[in-house]
């Protein structure tokens, strides 16, 4: 009885610690999104602006948001927006999508995010957006 009580207390303690830490990075991602992405991207489904809505973008194939006119480069990129793909796109958008010789509007608009922590937090936030 004592052992299982200790286990439950330990598990509850871990959850109490993990909760705020995860919430914090998502909250930081939301703040970054509003500062660095929201001028061009909405988090609301169906609201395209300069860039496509990013609602539900996590796990989607690139250039698939309905009603948005993408560059040829992104349409031909065959990217699926997994954590790794977003990580490498945000770290160096021009190289990642445009290849070398093909500059195009989308990637020229994207600034590289040098901080891996910021990229991780933005991706954590993007994962929370539903279509």
Interface residues with ligand HEC (CB under 6 A) are: 36-37, 39-41, 50-52, 54, 57, 62-65, 70-71, 73-74, 81, 90, 104-106, 109-110, 113, 122
**Closest distance to ligand HEC from the beta carbon of 100 (Å):** 16
Q: How many of the other CB atoms lie within 10 Å of CB of 121? A: 22
**Closest distance to ligand HEC from the beta carbon of 123 (Å):** 8
Ramachandran bin of 52, using left for φ above 0, alpha for ψ from -120 to 50, beta for the remaining angles: beta
| Nearest to ligand HEC of 31, 50 (CB atom) | 50
**Closest distance to ligand HEC from the beta carbon of 88 (Å):** 11
| Nearest to ligand HEC of 8, 43 (CB atom) | 43
| Nearest residue to the partner ligand HEC, using Cβ | 106
- For 100, counting Cβ atoms within 10 Å of its Cβ (0-12 exposed, 13-18 middle, 19+ buried), the class is exposed
Q: How far apart are CA 8 and CA 100, in angstroms?
A: 55
């Amino acid at each position: 009885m004592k052992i299982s009580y200790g286990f439950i207390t330990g598990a509850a303690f871990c959850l109490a610690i993990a909760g705020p830490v995860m919430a914090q990075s998502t909250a930081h991602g939301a703040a970054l999104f509003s500062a660095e992405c929201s001028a061009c991207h909405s988090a609301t489904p169906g609201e395209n602006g300069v860039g496509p809505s990013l609602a539900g973008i996590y796990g989607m194939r690139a250039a698939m948001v309905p009603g948005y006119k993408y560059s040829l480069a992104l349409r031909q990129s065959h990217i699926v927006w997994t954590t790794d793909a977003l990580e490498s796109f945000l770290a160096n958008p021009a190289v990642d999508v445009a290849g070398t010789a093909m500059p195009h509007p989308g990637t020229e608009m994207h600034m590289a995010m040098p901080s891996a922590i910021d990229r991780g937090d933005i991706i954590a936030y993007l994962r929370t957006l539903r279509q």
